[in-house]
Chains A and B, each alone.
Chain A
Amino acid sequence: MFVINCPYCGERDQSEFSCGGEAHIVRPKQPTELSDDEWAEYLFMRKNIKGVQFERWNHAHGCRKWFNMVRDTSNDKIHAVYKMGEKPPVI
C-alpha cells in the first residue's frame, strides 16, 4: 500500500488505482504474420522483475486515465511517474 502521484490528479491512495502490468510491450504491427511463439511472448511472457520495473497504471476510481510508473517492486518505492507517450526516464 502506497501513495501514487497521478500526473492528472495529484497524490492519491494506491487503492484508487489498478495496475496494468509491465509497460512498453509493443502491440504487434502485423498480427497476421506472428508465429505462435511470438504471440505467446506478446500475450503471456513477462519479466516480472524484482527491482526497478516500468509499469502501466490506471486511475480507475479517479480520472480513469492511464499513465506509466517506475517502481521498485522489492520495496514498493516509486521512482517516477510519466504520461502515456512520454519518453521513459532513465533510472
Chain B
Amino acid sequence: MKNKYSIFSLIKNAFSQHENWQQAWGNPEPKKEYEAVIVGGGGHGLATAYYLAKKHNMKNIAVLEKGWIGGGNTGRNTTIIRSNYLWDASAGLYDHALKIWENLSQELNYNIMFSQRGVMNLAHNLQDVRDLKRRTHANRLNGIDAVWLDTKQVKEFCPIINISQDIRYPVLGGTLQRRAGTARHDAVAWGYARGADAMGVDIIQNCEVKGIKRNGDQVEGLETTKGFIKSKKIGVVAAGHSSVIANMAGLKLPLESKPLQALVSEPVKPIIDTVVMSNAVHAYVSQSDKGELVIGAGTDAYISYTQRGSHDVVEGTLKAILELYPIFSRMKMLRQWGGIVDICPDASPIISKTNIKGLYFNCGWGTGGFKATPGSGDLFAHTIANDEPHKLNAAFNLNRFVSGDLVDEHGAAAVAH
C-alpha cells in the first residue's frame, strides 16, 4: 500500500531529513506472462496501464519502457494543454482529456501542477482571422470555451506582445481558451506510474522490445532485451518509434517520424502569465514555474530519429518570437532539445485496433500529444479491454485511411506541419 502524500506526510518526513520517503514505484523483473502489455512508458502508456487496472479490473499488466520513465517525449514537450480543436471528433477527444486534467492531481494524489492560465492563438492575416473565428464558433457549439479577441484585447491579455501593424506578421487578433493551460510534464508520468504501481502494474524500465511474435493473426508475445514475455493483448504507445514496432509485426502505419524541437531560456521573474501560440509564424511561448521561457519550435521537414533537429528551425522560431516580443531580445537561451514525433497525414492521432488480433496502436499524436495524455490513456484502455473503441475514439481508427473519413486538423494543430 502506498503512503498518501499530504501536509502530514510532509511534516513527518521532515523529521527524518526526507530520507525515508517511500519509493514511488518499484523496479520488478518481468514475469513470464501478462494479461496485457503496454509498450512505451511515457505518459500515454502509463495512463493506459493505470486505467486498465482501475476501470477495467485487469490485475496482471506490464508497462515496458526502453529507457526510463519520463525520459522520452513526456519530458521533452512544452506542456501545453488545450481542447480548442475544429472538428467534432477532435473536440470530443481533447475536451475529454481536459476534463480529466481538471481533477487529476486529486485523483492521483500527486501534484501535477495543472495551471489553467489560458492559451491564446494569434491571427496574422485575414485568412487566419476567418479560420480562427470559425474555430471559436465550432468550439462553442461543442461546449468548449473559446472567445475571439481583437488586437487591443490581445494586448490587454498579454501586455508584452508587440501589436505594431508595421511588423512583417502583425497581430490582427486571436482566440482565447481560458480553461487551457499547462501542467508539469514529468509529474504526469510520475503520478500515473505511482498510481499504476499501487494497483500492481509492473513498470519495467530499460526493457526494449525487439520483436513481436504472432500465431497467424493473433499476437502471442514480445521478444525483449529481458527475454520473451507472453501476452495476448499488446498495446503499443511508442510515439516516434511506433512504425519501428509496427514493422516488427509486419504492419505499415501512415506515419512519418520527425524531430520536433523546444528550448528554454535562462530563468527570469514572471513576465508572461499565459501561453501564446502563433501558427503562421510558428512561435509559441509560456513561462515555467522556475521562470524559464518555454519555447516550442517546428518540426524538421524530413524523417529522422536523431532527437536533435536543425538549427535553422530554431532560428526561424526565435526570429518570430523577437518580432512579437521585442522585450526578449537580450534573453539567453539555456537549453535546446529534440523529440521524435510521429505525424499522421491528417494531423490526428490513431487509437485503434489493427488487423492483428490483440495488437493495438495508440500513435500519430504528432506535435501535440501531451495535452491528451489522460484522455488518450483512458480511451486506449477501453479499446484494449473491450476489443472495441469507445465512442470518443471511434473516429480515430486506422481504417480511416482506407475509407477516406479523415479528421483533418492541420488548421487546429496550432503549429504548421
Contacts and interface: CB of A to CB of B under 8 A. Distances in A.
Interface of A: 1, 13-15, 18-19, 21, 36-37, 39-41, 43-50, 53, 55, 73-76
B402 A74 contact: no
B301 interface: yes
B328 to A, nearest CB: 24
Interface in B281-305: 301-305
Given A44-B254, A55-B302, A74-B306, A50 B311 contact: no
Contact of B243 (A21, A48, A75): A48
A40 B254 CA distance: 9
Given A37-B402, A45-B253, A46-B256, A14 B310 contact: yes
Report the interface size class on chain B: 20 to 34
Given A47-B247, A48-B253, A73 B304 contact: yes
Given A15-B310, A40-B401, A47-B243, A74 B252 contact: no
A44 B408 CA distance: 14
A74 B305 contact: yes
Interface of B: 241, 243-244, 247, 252-257, 301-306, 308-312, 342, 345, 401-404
A39 B345 CA distance: 14
Contacts of A50: 241, 243-244, 257, 305
30 contacts: A1-B308, A1-B311, A1-B312, A13-B312, A14-B302, A14-B310, A19-B301, A19-B302, A19-B303, A36-B402, A36-B403, A39-B402, A40-B254, A40-B401, A40-B402, A43-B401, A44-B345, A44-B401, A46-B243, A46-B252, A47-B247, A48-B244, A48-B253, A48-B342, A49-B247, A50-B241, A50-B244, A50-B257, A55-B302, A55-B303
Nearest to A18: B301
The 10 closest A-B pairs by CB, nearest first: A48-B243, A19-B302, A1-B310, A44-B254, A45-B252, A40-B402, A15-B312, A44-B401, A40-B401, A50-B305
A75 B247 contact: no
A50 B257 CA distance: 9
A46 B255 contact: yes
Given A15-B310, A40-B402, A73-B303, 20 more contacts: A1-B308, A1-B309, A1-B310, A14-B310, A18-B301, A39-B402, A40-B254, A44-B345, A46-B253, A46-B254, A47-B247, A48-B253, A48-B257, A48-B342, A49-B303, A50-B241, A50-B243, A50-B244, A50-B305, A76-B304
A46 B243 CA distance: 9
A49 B302 CA distance: 12
B401 A21 contact: no
A57 B372 CA distance: 34
Contacts of A73: 257, 303-306
Contacts of B342: 48
Nearest to B402: A40
A76 B258 CA distance: 12
A61 B345 CA distance: 25
B402 to A, nearest CB: 4
A75 B402 CA distance: 33
A40 B345 CA distance: 11
Contacts of A53: 303
B303 A48 contact: yes
Nearest to B303: A73
Nearest to B314: A1
